Structure 1
Amino acid sequence: MTTPRPVHTWLTDMDGVLVHEEEPIPGAAEFVEALKASGRPFLVLTNNSIYTPRDLRARLLRSGIDVPEEAIWTSALATADFLADQRPNGSAFAVGESGLTTALHDVGYVLTDRDPDYVVLGETRTYSFEAITKAIRHIENGARFIATNPDASGPSTQGTLPATGSVAALISTATRRRPYFVGKPNPLMMRSALNRLEAHSESTVMIGDRMDTDVVSGLEAGLRTVLVLTGSTARDDVEHFPYRPTRVVDSIADVVPLVAELSGDADGGAADG
């Protein structure tokens, strides 16, 4: 965004950019409304695979942020999209919540604990020893190991929670098999979002709060990136990384005026970039 190239598509992270837990970050609602007014396609991205887009829309709406269901892209959806491309109509043993199981069902996958093609690990608040043991045995018997995202921990009002990456490490230690992580920082997550919108990387901006996931995956997918300082990465931390975002701003409120400035004529469409 140091050049006057127009932006035809916007991607943004959710946690740390639009909300903290269910508390809205000032400027988030205005940012989403500015995107709608611009006429440009956009997606809200999250590595959280627990919830379906419908669930997330309801949670955001309670925070005063009106994001259409079709404008939400989760690591569970990206994982299902990846599996449908790799092995159409396959089978999986899924360890996760409705966000993951619904996404797998929607692409034609059968969920089974009998000789599955894949073990798919997602986020859940109810990991069970029995389910993890089954996952380990399926992998030992030849199932391919996929995980929605590599986040080792996540926040809660009570403190840190173990996340997908921590449970993946447990299974990897037992099986000596590392999973393929689909979510950020894998640029595949960004590319799947671009494909969903039929958008071009050259005319797309990614907004995030983490240098090690949002910014690096955006950079590797060829996007311009904006780092907001309302989440995980502090301003002083930016210089410690060997790569830089295109722009650093205090919060999503600082991006609101950029939407109209950089979007240009909405008649250009997302595919003109």
Structure 2
Amino acid sequence: MGHLPGAVLRTPGPPALSPTDHRHPGDDTMHDRKPVQSWLTDMDGVLVHEGQPVPGAPEFVQKLRASGKPFLVLTNNSIYTPRDLQARLARMGLDVPEEAIWSSALATAQFLADQRPGGTAYVIGEAGLTTALHAVGYVLSDFAPDYVVLGETRTYSFEAITKAIRLIDDGARFICTNPDATGPSVEGALPAAGSVAAMISKATGVEPYFVGKPNPMMMRSALNTIDAHSESTAMIGDRMDTDILCGLEAGLETILVLTGISSRAEAERYPYRPSRIVDSVADLIDEV
């Protein structure tokens, strides 16, 4: 059937937004997502900031626990064991169970156990990483190890870095827990695993495989740990380049809070968007 001469054919566009709807066409929130049944949340910048709890964070965690919904607190920091982190959070009034903490150290250990069960590794890191590797049956060795595994530590040793370079030159595979170039402290930025990994890569010509955020593997391993599904899980983070990117690539609803690294203006400069932006986790208490 033809159309009238001079008539303009229009293609259907996106549905009009009401004056009170501040979402943008293309946002995840425009799609029919399932209700949130499980939660993943970053730790630094979301629940705590510079050694202090974020206002509303203790109440948010308390509500999560009371809801019975599965949740995990994620961190790229591989220094501490979950028990260490549980104690640190408890001192700040955050009652997080040990089993509800998922670190890049645990994700790295799980990855290596899946890739090469019962393998060997030369490790630069602290108890969080070495304990996780021992728990999956790895042997720590500097004699022809399967892997060099680089994590966070308070004291990077030039001798240990030199050893790592030589082992990689001899054929060891290079793994790094997380790509963060710097970490936060009360005094200011500290060099982190990503910076040291760059040094080792420069010396060897070998790039590491990063397990932690923004690798979506970190998120998927967390989902598997609590038997959760991406379509009904939300990820809360304070960094666009790690938390939000990682959650987005894993298919989760992503919520950026403004209590850490990324500001609302900075978020607008990225080619991807969070599902939504809120001031802090205090704004999410009623949603749990």
Over aligned residue pairs, what C-alpha RMSD do you find? 0.9
- 1:218 corresponds to 2:243: no
Of the three residues 220, 237, 256, the one matched with 1:208 is: 237
What are the ranges of 5 or more consecutive residues in structure 2 without an aligned counterpart? 1-27
How many Å apart are 1:155 and its aligned residue? 1.3
Higher relative contact order (CA 8 A, sep 6+): 1
Q: Which amino acid letter does the alignment assign opposite residue 157 of structure 2?
A: S
- 1:28-67 equivalences in 2 (<5 Å): 28-67=57-96
Higher helix share: 1
How many Å apart are 1:59 and its aligned residue? 0.3
Runs of 4+ in structure 1 over 4 Å off? none
How many Å apart are 1:157 and its aligned residue? 1.3
Q: Which amino acid letter does the alignment assign opposite residue 177 of structure 1?
A: V
Classify the secondary structure of the residue corresponding to 1:255.
Answer: helix
Of the three residues 205, 208, 211, the one matched with 1:179 is: 208
> Structure 1: how far apart are the matches of 2:151 and 2:267?
29
- 1:74 corresponds to 2:98: no
Classify the secondary structure of the residue corresponding to 2:72.
Answer: strand
% identical aligned pairs: 73
Q: Deviations over 1:193-244 (max 9, x none)?
A: 0111111100100000000000010000000010000000001111101111
What residue number does 1:254 align with? 283
What residue number does 2:17 align with? none
Classify the secondary structure of the residue corresponding to 1:108.
Answer: coil
> Are 1:14 and 1:45, in contact at CA under 8 Å, matched by a contact in 2?
yes
> Structure 1: how far apart are the matches of 2:205 and 2:116?
23
- 1:43-192 equivalences in 2 (<5 Å): 43-192=72-221
How many Å apart are 1:130 and its aligned residue? 0.7
What residue number does 2:52 align with? 23
> Structure 1: how far apart are the matches of 2:219 and 2:273?
18
TM-score (normalizing by structure 1): 0.93
Q: Which amino acid letter does the alignment assign opposite residue 245 of structure 1?
A: P
> Structure 2: how far apart are the matches of 1:64 and 1:35?
15
Moved more, 152-161 or 37-46: 152-161
> Structure 1: how far apart are the matches of 2:280 and 2:159?
43
What are the ranges of 5 or more consecutive residues in structure 1 without an aligned counterpart? 260-273
Q: Highest CA radius of gyration, 1 or 2?
A: 2
> Structure 2: how far apart are the matches of 1:138 and 1:258?
50
Q: Which amino acid letter does the alignment assign opposite residue 66 of structure 1?
A: D
How many Å apart are 1:5 and its aligned residue? 2.3
Classify the secondary structure of the residue corresponding to 2:142.
Answer: coil
